């Protein structure tokens, strides 16, 4: 009974450890690349969270059997190097694509994400996507825009109310100082709006009361004159 080569056992164990650490991998063929080129690509991929290494296909097949990355078995032909991804798969796809443009001997075959096979065209589409950080920044910007708009509207409501009330007070000959103070507080903080609201309400109530009194007085005087003074028609009629 032949013993398994210790180096092969160590390689299989290494592969199993990588598979346990991630469910995303990309398979490439490196035929014709120099050692310097492979080392350069490995450094680029390591910087974005991917471990790129050359493996024998037979050992890879044995190590991935029954795991989430088993679908990459269909790409294991020829000299194979695998990038096990522990980061943004779109960034890895972009790096591999760009490197293949510089060194056409690198062939990107396919990969797997969470048990689903990625074809070459799938990886090309992923390479065209913005990076994860850019996408997160775009999403954050879209979420922040409505909040900024709402904050502006909430700030504008007390300001517009204060300006309108100030104009009303000026038209009635009142003082606009309390309203101006309320406007300044509303522009500073929402809490200022709450503090300024009672003062503005008191001034508004005073104006309403003043308008009510000024409107009722002429009506009351007219009613009194109508009650006391006889009509001209009644005075001109002859007494019977």
Residue 187's Cβ-side half-sphere holds a number of Cα atoms within 13 Å equal to 10
Give the pLDDT mean for 215-233: 47
- Split into its structural domains, the chain has a count of 2
Mean pLDDT of 199-203: 50
> Based on the domain organization, do 142 and 162 belong to the same domain?
yes
**Domain CATH number, residue 42:** 3.30.70.1730
pLDDT reported for residue 19: 87
Nearest CA-CA partner of 112 in 131, 92, 140, 128: 92
Q: Same domain for 162 and 197?
A: yes
- Mean pLDDT over 194-208 rounds to 48
Residue 74 half-sphere exposure toward CB, CA atoms < 13 A:
9
The band of 135, judged by pLDDT with boundaries at 50, 70 and 90, is low
Q: What percent of the chain has pLDDT over 90?
A: 37
- Specify whether 125 is located in the same domain as 184: no
Looking at 105, 129, 153, the residue that finishes a domain is 129
Alpha-carbon gap, residue 159 to 176, rounded angstroms: 14
Residue 239 belongs to some domain of the structure: no
What does the pLDDT read at residue 68? 87
CA-CA distance, 166 to 174, in Å (whole number)? 9
Name the DSSP letter for residue 106. Answer: -
- Residue of 157 and 65 predicted with greater confidence: 65
Are residues 150 and 207 located together in one domain of the fold? yes
Q: Which domain holds residue 198?
A: 134-223
Q: Supply the mean pLDDT for the chain.
A: 74
Residues 103 and 179 in one domain: no
Clarify whether residues 26 and 90 are in a common domain: yes
Cβ–Cβ under 8 Å, residues 72 and 105 = no
Query: For 3-7, 36-40, 108-112, 204-208, which range has the lowest pLDDT when averaged over its residues?
Result: 204-208
Is 237 within a domain? no
- Stretch 85-109: mean pLDDT: 92
Same domain, 85 and 186: no
C-alpha to C-alpha distance for 229 and 113, rounded to whole angstroms: 100
User: What's the token pair of residue 152?
Assistant: 């502006």
Q: How confident is the model at residue 157, as a pLDDT?
A: 58
């Amino acid at each position: 009974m032949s013993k398994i080569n210790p180096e092969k056992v160590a390689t299989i164990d290494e592969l199993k450890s990588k598979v346990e650490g991630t469910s995303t991998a990309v398979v490439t063929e490196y035929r014709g690349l120099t050692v310097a080129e492979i080392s350069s690509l490995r450094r680029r991929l390591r910087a974005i969270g991917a471990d790129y290494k050359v493996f024998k296909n037979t050992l890879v097949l044995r190590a991935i059997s029954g795991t989430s990355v088993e679908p990459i078995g269909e790409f294991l032909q020829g000299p194979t190097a695998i990038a096990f991804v522990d980061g943004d798969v779109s960034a890895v796809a972009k790096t591999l694509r760009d490197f293949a443009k510089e060194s056409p001997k690198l062939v990107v075959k396919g990969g797997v994400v969470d048990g689903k096979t990625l074809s070459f065209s799938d990886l090309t589409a992923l390479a065209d996507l913005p990076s994860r950080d850019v996408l997160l920044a775009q999403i954050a910007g879209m979420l922040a825009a409505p909040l900024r708009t709402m904050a502006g509207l909430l700030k504008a409501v007390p300001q517009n109310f204060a300006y309108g009330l100030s104009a009303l007070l000026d038209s009635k000959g009142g003082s606009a100082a309390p309203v101006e103070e309320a406007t300044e507080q509303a522009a500073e903080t929402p809490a200022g709006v709450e503090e300024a609201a009672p003062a503005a309400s008191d001034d508004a109530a005073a104006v309403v009361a003043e308008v009510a009194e000024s409107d009722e007085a002429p009506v009351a005087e007219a009613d009194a004159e109508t009650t006391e003074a006889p009509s001209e028609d009644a005075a001109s009629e002859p007494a019977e």
